[in-house]
Chains A and B, each alone.
Chain A
Amino acid sequence: MTTLALQAGLAPVRRADHWRPAELVFWLLPVAAYFIFPDNLVLLTQIAITALFCLSLDLILGYAGIVSLGHAAFFGLGAYAAGLLAAHGFGDPLLGLGVAAVVAAALGFVTSLLVLRGADLTRLMVTLGVAMMLYELANKLTPITGGVDGLQGIEVLPLLGPFEFDLYGKTAFWYALAVLFVLFWVARRIVHSPFGLSLKGIRLNVGRMPALGTPVNARLAAVYTLGAAYAGIAGALLAQTTQFVALDVLSFNRSAELLLILVLGGSGSLYGALIGTIVFMSAHHLLSELNPQYWQFWLGALLVVIVLFARDGVMGGLRRIGARFGANGGTK
């Protein structure tokens, strides 16, 4: 009886875990894009990588509510880890991803101890400080990282044996997309698991969760570490597909831009991170061609408008439209 009641009570949660048709259609988009824009594979690869990076921030900010102004630290660390590995003869791409994930997760775990101590403002400053420290390190350790000139000489071996990284970026595209999809699937499982729900609970009411028996700090540290690992993998993908690591992977601008992408898409929703990236990167691509110098102005204006008027981003807008249709049609 109790199990039945429990199952009935969990039904909405269960249902949320099901793959909806719209989601399947969404994942066919990149496949279609491959055939529609065969000349823009580099851009498409960039979008996939940034989407993964954005996903990692969404996990810690959107789901767990940890603000971060220095998420690029993990991205850059992953990029340098994979880049250095490949530059010193260990060019297997999957090995690079694994090492980048582990290194970034280690940094994430260590810094989570610092980040979780403070309130919002302290968190902003500590995350920013950690990222700036790494930036300075990478800048000054020229013999290892190449400093401002960037890390060169990265040689990536063929993926899984037969798939060599070609000039047109075909392999790179499928590689990045596959990694994104797998990690998205994992993230989707996680946010719908009891662990993910407890994170949501922490974000919504941090005072209540300990009373329900949730170890708040341990959960937050775990998700922060996970987010760091995701960001590290995204960085590694960038290093491997472009065969170059520029110093700006660690820059403040990258962290700030990522926040922008996430709020543009709508934080707290995995598809928000993906859609935000697609919209942002496409707009960036088009606008910066039209008006390269002042593109930043419109970026800033967009940010201000989003914060003032459309706080829940594209996903929020979609949801509102969906709700209206649902109300009109009588079914939900």
Chain B
Amino acid sequence: MTVIFDGIASGMLLFLISVGLSVTLGLMNFVNLAHGAFAMLGGYIGVTLLNHAGVPFLAALPLAAVATALVGVLFERTLYRRLYGATHLDQVLFSIGLVFMSISTAHYFFGAQQQPLTLPDFLQGQINLPGLDIGIYRLFLVILGLAIAIGLQRMVSGTRFGAQLRASVDNPRAARGMGINVERIFTLTFALGTALAGLGGALGVEMLGLDPTFAVKYIVYFLIVVAVGGSGNIKGSLVASLILGIFDVAGKYYVPEIGAFVIYAVMVAMLIFRPQGLFGRAASR
């Protein structure tokens, strides 16, 4: 049971980070491999605020998200927007370039060591039920993840902004013709994606650690979540993250000798049978 719960919690964390990618990659159709770099930025901002500025944990999280989003908007305005119409390959190359730069930059400012993070007292410790040990921080992650999943799903499918976003992605010309400010929608969406990345990064420090290689170490996982879950699909990302988290934790716990092999195998198998993802829309673009 504990293994399953830990799996759910780590899946939830994965979801929190990768849902941002699901927004940029899935909704905006931009292969943003630099997503891990934005998550890393959020992590560093969070850690710096906590350890050096003495900001309380719960306040540091939104601040990290907002600061990351600001950086994201800056990049979007100057660089990303030039590549919306480019091929996937160009987007991949461009964002790999950003990743390389982010790794060196993080190394320059923070050094190669792991960043320490102490959780506040009320998030430490465990709740012990019969047969089940629940880490409070993990429970916190699960609740937060669910809240964000529901909120995002509502936003994309239920609000005016969500409808405008879907229209802008599916047919920018027609959307423009309807008086939608496509540029602004994309900027806002990109900001949302990077904010989620920053939040996830800050939340993930405790479980995933934080060092300059973070940007590249977990990007494969984020991509798997989005690819398996289906592009631009919040529910799909959630389910895929949970599956991945449970398999990952269970795999490490029960069969450590094969390691991450299972996950890659599952992903490849999944993509072969459902190339558009678990809940993906049939390829329309």
Residues 79-114 of chain B, each 1 if its beta carbon lies under 8 Å from chain A, else 0: 100110011111011101111111111011000000
Interface residues of A (CB under 8 A from B): 61, 67, 69, 114, 117-122, 124-126, 128-130, 132-133, 136-137, 139-140, 252-253, 256, 259-260, 263, 293-297, 299-304, 306-308, 311
Known A133-B265, A140-B261; judge A69-B272 contact (CB<8 A). Answer: no
Q: Which residue of B lies closest to A256 (CB)?
A: B96
On chain B, the residues within 8 Å of A137 by CB distance are 261
Select A122's contact among B79, B86, B259, B271, beta carbons within 8 Å. Answer: B271
**A interface: dominant SS:** helix
Known: A69-B92, A133-B261, A303-B97. 13 other contacts (CB 8 A): A114-B271, A118-B275, A120-B89, A122-B227, A122-B271, A124-B88, A124-B92, A140-B258, A253-B216, A294-B108, A303-B96, A307-B93, A308-B79
Select A293's contact among B94, B100, B107, B259, beta carbons within 8 Å. Answer: B107
Q: Which residue of B lies closest to A297 (CB)?
A: B104
On chain B, the residues within 8 Å of A304 by CB distance are 79, 94, 97-98, 101
Whole-angstrom CA separation of A128 from B33 in the bound complex: 13
Residues A136 and B93 in contact, CB atoms below 8 Å apart: no
Residues A303 and B275 in contact, CB atoms below 8 Å apart: no
**B interface: dominant SS:** helix
Tell me how far the C-beta of A297 lies from the nearest C-beta in chain B, rounded to whole angstroms: 3
Residues B260 and A301 in contact, CB atoms below 8 Å apart: no
Residues B257 and A296 in contact, CB atoms below 8 Å apart: no
Known A118-B271, A133-B265; judge A296-B220 contact (CB<8 A). Answer: no
B283 at the interface (CB under 8 A from A): yes
B188 at the interface (CB under 8 A from A): no
Residues B100 and A132 in contact, CB atoms below 8 Å apart: no
Q: Which of B89, B223, B224 has the most chain A CB atoms inside 10 A of its CB?
A: B89
On chain A, the residues within 8 Å of B73 by CB distance are none
On chain B, the residues within 8 Å of A126 by CB distance are 268, 271-272
4 smallest CB-CB distances across A and B, nearest first, come from A300-B100, A303-B97, A297-B104, A300-B101
